[in-house]
Structure 1
Amino acid sequence: MKGENGNIIFVIISLIMAILLTPNINEEFNSSKVFILSLLAFVNVVFFWLTTNRYTRSWVNYNTLFLLGFLIVHFQIPFLASLGVEPNRSSFIWINKNVVNFAVWMSLMALFFWELGYFLYRKLRKKRILKKITSYNVNTKKIDFFLQFFFVLFIALVGKEFLSGSYDGGDNWGSGANYAFMLLRVLIYLRVIYFFINTRNFKITKKNIIFLLIRNKRLFIVLSLYVLLFLLAGDRGPVMQILILLAVSYSIFQRKISFKAFFVSIIIGGVLFTIIGMGRSRDTSQRSMSLFEEGYNKLIQSENTINPTNELASSNRILFRAIDVVPDKHPYLLGTTFFNEVIGVVPFAGGTYLKLTELPLMYTSSSYFFTVLGQGVHFSYGEGSEILGDIYINFGVIGVFIMMFLLGGWVSYIIFNVEKNNYYNHTYIIIYVIICIGALYINRSHFLDPLKSIVYALVIDRLLVRKNIKWEQRK
């Protein structure tokens, strides 16, 4: 059976197989069961990529990035352990190894429900008459001004320690720098999207790239300095976000990015980011050589096997902690951290709400919840969060399945509108590009992580953008 019906049936059969393998929440680690569950996940992700590739224009898309991150975070370490390969820091990862079987099973079920939500929207969507724009350009004068302004403001606020190349995960930033950075980041996202909208009728080549650079010199100056600044500090996140931003936007408006190009980029990027991560330092005064030289020397001198995905995969420990603690040792949060994420979208509303309610720090976000659980109130570093763990501590196992089902359907809705309307309404493109930028990272973050960026981007787009358009009807 072809089409969406065949896809749905395949997922349902896989889901039934997973149900037959349902483990207890707390039981001894079973390598055979974990191996089978992990293999089911891998087969389903590959199947999903192959069957949905006809919808997408490029291998650089949300589905590729999100599912790749989902596999790494939720299955890499347990799968390798099922083969007898233990993680480097076993005691750090295995918070309670007796919940790993259940964590892997729940992750697999969450994957299946996400796929079902995605395929069901594809099957049930209604055909409608759409509008096509034959002439469409974005006036960028206002946003260029604000882009420059917030870049300068960020530089002024971030502080000498960060500007000197010291990395401390943002803890060494000056007062107000986080707010300036958030707006600067959103403005960069929008300006790059507008650049590709305005140049979509030009095939970007070596011959015309200089012309395009001259026409958009403010964007490229800010973008270049932004990337250089974070590279020198060894902060890989913002650099990776810019690379994904450019690749996704290019694939929407210019040409498809092949699997070969995507695969080679992943390998090269993984090696470079590993070197950068190993070379960064909290105190640059102790560095005797450049960041890249120091990182490369540590890489070749390391006695342990270097895996570029280990850091991302280690986030699965957060899910182990969630299952170990909730609900036996701590009740479900019933949406407390989700509400804080939603209200935090409104400027100053989050801080005001917390002051009025005097909510303990532990319950302000799932990141703080897991950090306090692990280290107490006098913690020395943040332990982060994890997408399924974030849902689980609020709504339990059933909540995980429902929320992932809804996420799959919503992503399918956004992707469909980008495919059909990319010259009609760039609201969908803004949302799509932003969720793509965070598609890898969201697996080790909060479920609602992209919400604030999406809302800010849409508000700024509505306030600052003027379009010159002509319409014609099409089916």
Structure 2
Amino acid sequence: MEQIILLLFMLCGYIVAYAFVPNVVDINTLAILLIGMGVSLLIFFSKPETNKNLKNQKIRASYIFVIGFLIVNFQAYIDLIFEKVSINDIDLWVDITIINESAIISSVGLLSFLLGYSVKRIIPFPERNFKIYCYPTKFLKLLSLFFLVLYFYFVNPAYLKGGYALFDMGASAKYLALAFNASIFAIYVQESRNIINNKIKIKNFYDFIKHVGLLSFLLVTIYLISVLLSGDRGPIITYSMLIFGSYLFINKPKYSSLTIIIYSVSIALVLTLLGFARKMITEDSLVEKLKLGVNAFNDNASSSIFPMTKELSGSVNTVHYVVSYIHKNHDYFYGMFQIRQLIDAIPFSGTIFGRLGLINYNNTKYNGIAEFITWIAQGDNSTYGNGASIVADFYLGFGILGVFLGMLFFGYFMRVVDEKMYGKSSISTVWLTIALVYFSNAIYISRSFVLEGTKAIVMILFLLLLNNLLLGKIYRFKR
């Protein structure tokens, strides 16, 4: 309870600071704000874990999310304090008069998340045993193969030749990629339950891959090669986390802090090198490609205190864009984008609402939070996507109140996800699907929106239901 009181006290302090924040950028003010965030994290992590299933479990969806949140929302401010970036970088800061305000908004978001998580710690969530139904996944594997073949048939060839952020993969390819991803997720959800129900002993990670099926792993590898060729890296992280998360759910191993740090740094380094590889996918000579890669490495190393996460940290400009836009042009949107996200998650609902005239899909800037931020940044003739962030999503809806309430409930929710991942293995299919989707995307949720996973969850559950019905059994989703 003391932890909750301290976090609540700090949250009130930041809300008061928000009311009196100066428009002039002040490095000392930013430093104080960041020190406050450091203190809040010390308060949060100093509390011993009381849940026996979570004790010494350092790899949690919530922890991964917090790391991503710190990178997205605070690294750029640290770089500014240490003079790694210029205050004149208009693409990053958008409007220097709202830098202090944006930093406080992000701070309120983090404190609210920690508070919501801490509240859930003291509220027991009764664990129930669900009967685990075992179903073969041959249909899902054939379906994933079918989706992957169609994806390669419809995808824009220019996209696969380093065209990420330059060329659109095509509408059909987007839906097929989503369907392929959902089918792979469905396979890992069902196979995880099959392994547990059949009491199969998984000796190591390779043993887990073998039991799930080498075909699925091969299909994922082929898909990720195409992703790598395009210049994207997001799906590589998502699939790695899906496979690893499924293994964690089954075996629940505990790793030392040193092991986690070594693997994390190694993965970050590989992803950084993959990012530099984007600049090398050109028609230039090999020497020119190498020069581009070296220059990119040197530029990154000199322009950030944490070079390996510099690209991710640039997403803080989405917060700056929406704060500046609301100040100058518009009232809050009061949940419009969140409602659209929920509608789009339900198959065919968007088409129905569009035909009824309830949603106008012709005005593409309102199709989602990422599209709207891109429109704010580039106008009607955008050439690339600016992306989104969870803080920008909540702020655009309801302002600072939206950030407070949204992150508070999300912190509570992520504690539930942690408990489901490491609790009893006989959880419902619905909760296992939700837990794996949010665990797999934990690092990227900060630069996205909180409901992004809903469409994937609905599609995964639909494929699982279809798989089970085709096997001649009525599957009941137990909540």
Same fold, judged at TM 0.5 (above):
yes
What SS does structure 1 have at the residue aligned with 2:117?
helix
Aligned residue in 1 for 2:381: 378
Give me the TM-score of the superposition, normalised by structure 2.
0.86
- Between the aligned partners of 2:22 and 2:195, the Cα distance in structure 1 is 56
- Between the aligned partners of 1:61 and 1:73, the Cα distance in structure 2 is 19
Alpha-carbon offset, residue 95 of structure 1: 0.9
> Of 433, 436, 443, which residue of structure 2 is paired with 1:430?
433
- Between the aligned partners of 2:82 and 2:190, the Cα distance in structure 1 is 48
- Between the aligned partners of 1:87 and 1:36, the Cα distance in structure 2 is 20
Aligned residue in 2 for 1:269: 267
Question: Matches of residues 154-233 of structure 1 in structure 2 within 5 Å?
Answer: 154-163=151-160, 165-169=161-165, 171-200=167-196, 201-205=199-203, 209=206, 213=210, 216-233=213-230
Aligned CA distance change for structure 1 residues 126 and 277 (closer, same or farther; 3 Å):
closer
Greater shift in the superposed pair: 213-222 or 391-400: 213-222
Contact 1:42 1:71 (C-alpha < 8 Å) held by counterparts: no
> Of 253, 264, 271, which residue of structure 1 is paired with 2:250?
253
Alpha-carbon offset, residue 179 of structure 1: 0.3
Q: Deviations over 1:26-53 (max 9, x none)?
A: 5111222211221222332344345476
- Between the aligned partners of 1:12 and 1:241, the Cα distance in structure 2 is 33
Aligned residue in 1 for 2:38: 42
Aligned residue in 1 for 2:65: 66
- Between the aligned partners of 2:389 and 2:157, the Cα distance in structure 1 is 32
> Of 392, 416, 421, which residue of structure 1 is paired with 2:419?
416
Alpha-carbon offset, residue 188 of structure 1: 1.4
Q: Deviations over 1:339-387 (max 9, x none)?
A: 2111111234325545634363222222222222222112222211121
The letter for the 1-side match of 2:423 is: K
Alpha-carbon offset, residue 435 of structure 1: 0.8
The letter for the 2-side match of 1:188 is: I
Question: Matches of residues 9-158 of structure 1 in structure 2 within 5 Å?
Answer: 9-19=5-15, 21-22=17-18, 24=20, 27-51=23-47, 55=51, 56=54, 58-86=57-85, 90-125=89-124, 127=126, 130-131=128-129, 137-158=134-155
Aligned CA distance change for structure 1 residues 136 and 294 (closer, same or farther; 3 Å):
farther
Contact 1:279 1:298 (C-alpha < 8 Å) held by counterparts: no
Contact 1:190 1:457 (C-alpha < 8 Å) held by counterparts: yes
- Between the aligned partners of 1:10 and 1:424, the Cα distance in structure 2 is 34
Aligned CA distance change for structure 1 residues 448 and 87 (closer, same or farther; 3 Å):
farther
The letter for the 1-side match of 2:41 is: V
Greater shift in the superposed pair: 364-373 or 41-50: 41-50
- Between the aligned partners of 2:337 and 2:435, the Cα distance in structure 1 is 24
Greater shift in the superposed pair: 96-105 or 44-53: 44-53
Aligned residue in 2 for 1:6: 2
Aligned CA distance change for structure 1 residues 426 and 52 (closer, same or farther; 3 Å):
farther
Q: Identity of paired residues, percent?
A: 22
Contact 1:45 1:67 (C-alpha < 8 Å) held by counterparts: no
**Structure 2 unmatched ranges of 5 or more:** 472-479
The letter for the 1-side match of 2:276 is: M
The letter for the 2-side match of 1:262 is: I
Contact 2:21 2:101 (C-alpha < 8 Å) held by counterparts: yes
Alpha-carbon offset, residue 319 of structure 1: 0.7
Alpha-carbon offset, residue 326 of structure 1: 0.5
- Between the aligned partners of 1:319 and 1:273, the Cα distance in structure 2 is 24
What SS does structure 2 have at the residue aligned with 1:338?
helix
Contact 2:190 2:464 (C-alpha < 8 Å) held by counterparts: no
Alpha-carbon offset, residue 457 of structure 1: 1.5
Contact 2:238 2:441 (C-alpha < 8 Å) held by counterparts: yes
Alpha-carbon offset, residue 328 of structure 1: 3.8
- Between the aligned partners of 2:203 and 2:269, the Cα distance in structure 1 is 28
What SS does structure 1 have at the residue aligned with 2:129?
strand
Contact 2:186 2:461 (C-alpha < 8 Å) held by counterparts: no
Contact 2:245 2:439 (C-alpha < 8 Å) held by counterparts: yes
Alpha-carbon offset, residue 88 of structure 1: 9.3
The letter for the 2-side match of 1:415 is: D
Aligned CA distance change for structure 1 residues 191 and 89 (closer, same or farther; 3 Å):
farther
Alpha-carbon offset, residue 238 of structure 1: 0.8
Contact 1:23 1:101 (C-alpha < 8 Å) held by counterparts: no
Aligned CA distance change for structure 1 residues 465 and 270 (closer, same or farther; 3 Å):
same
Greater shift in the superposed pair: 252-261 or 383-392: 252-261
Aligned CA distance change for structure 1 residues 431 and 25 (closer, same or farther; 3 Å):
same
Greater shift in the superposed pair: 379-388 or 53-62: 53-62
- Between the aligned partners of 2:208 and 2:322, the Cα distance in structure 1 is 53
- Between the aligned partners of 1:349 and 1:282, the Cα distance in structure 2 is 42
Contact 1:118 1:412 (C-alpha < 8 Å) held by counterparts: yes
Give me the TM-score of the superposition, normalised by structure 1.
0.86
Q: Is 1:403 matched up with 2:410?
A: no
Contact 1:75 1:104 (C-alpha < 8 Å) held by counterparts: yes
Contact 2:343 2:350 (C-alpha < 8 Å) held by counterparts: yes
Runs of 4 or more off by more than 6 Å in structure 1?
none
Aligned CA distance change for structure 1 residues 413 and 313 (closer, same or farther; 3 Å):
same
Q: Deviations over 1:304-363 (max 9, x none)?
A: 526121111111111112111214421222222222111111234325545634363222
Question: Matches of residues 312-351 of structure 1 in structure 2 within 5 Å?
Answer: 312-351=312-351
Greater shift in the superposed pair: 6-15 or 194-203: 194-203
- Between the aligned partners of 1:313 and 1:389, the Cα distance in structure 2 is 14
Alpha-carbon offset, residue 63 of structure 1: 1.0
The letter for the 2-side match of 1:118 is: Y
What SS does structure 1 have at the residue aligned with 2:345?
coil
Q: Deviations over 1:269-319 (max 9, x none)?
A: 22211111122259654463899x677544556485261211111111111
- Between the aligned partners of 1:338 and 1:277, the Cα distance in structure 2 is 31
- Between the aligned partners of 1:126 and 1:301, the Cα distance in structure 2 is 50
Aligned residue in 2 for 1:473: none
Contact 1:49 1:63 (C-alpha < 8 Å) held by counterparts: no
Aligned CA distance change for structure 1 residues 27 and 33 (closer, same or farther; 3 Å):
same
